[in-house]
Amino acid sequence: MQKKSTNTYRPVVKKEEDTFGDLLLSILRSIKRTTIRFFKNLPNKIRDYVKRKIKEYKRKPARKDINKVYVLVGYTTKRHIDARYNAERNLIILRRGLMVLIFVLIIFISINSIIPKLKVGKYSEVFGIGSMSELAENDPFSRGN
């Protein structure tokens, strides 16, 4: 005898024995249903994610430079935020200055270590230049001619 359920599409049938095949089929059908549901809801999830990110972006205060923008939340004051901003700005300036100083020192040290090893007389012989006056004697563009 069959029981009628509230679902009019499928009648409920009681079986005496569930076999391993029936159990496997029911698991596979469940996996199929959840997979189909996931892919059906995927466009909605993507749309909601994009909308949420757009709303978050619109709520942020405008940034005029590379530094952080602080939003006053809780019990903080503008003076405290300004002090933090100035401290970060000073650190950025200090960091850039130190980087320039280190770069200049590296160039200075490398030039001082290379120049003693160069033999200028050897290169003047190779190019045939003894002095700058000798080079300027035969200059066709000089004013003396």
Helix/strand/coil for 3: strand
| Separation CA 59–CA 77 (nearest Å) | 20
Mean pLDDT score of the chain: 80
Q: Of 102 and 20, which is predicted with more confidence?
A: 102
Give the start-to-end residue ranges of the domains of the chain. 22-59, 60-135
> Which of the residue ranges 9-18, 53-62, 100-109 would you say has the lowest mean pLDDT?
9-18
| Separation CA 77–CA 95 (nearest Å) | 27
Question: Which tens digits make up the pLDDT trace of 76-131?
Answer: 788 888 898 999 999 999 999 999 999 999 999 998 888 877 777 777 777 777 67
- Buried b / exposed e along 11-42 (16+ C-beta atoms within 10 A): eeeeeeeeeeeeeeeeeeeeeeeeeeeeeeee
In this prediction, residue 126 carries a pLDDT of 74
Residue 58 has pLDDT above 60, yes or no: yes
Whole-prediction pTM: 0.35
What is the torsion angle, in degrees rounded to the nearest 10, for the CA atoms of residue 46, residue 50, residue 52 and residue 55?
Answer: -160
Which one of 3-7, 43-47, 117-121 scores highest in mean pLDDT?
43-47
Tell me the backbone φ, ψ of residue 12, rounded to 5 degrees: -85, 125
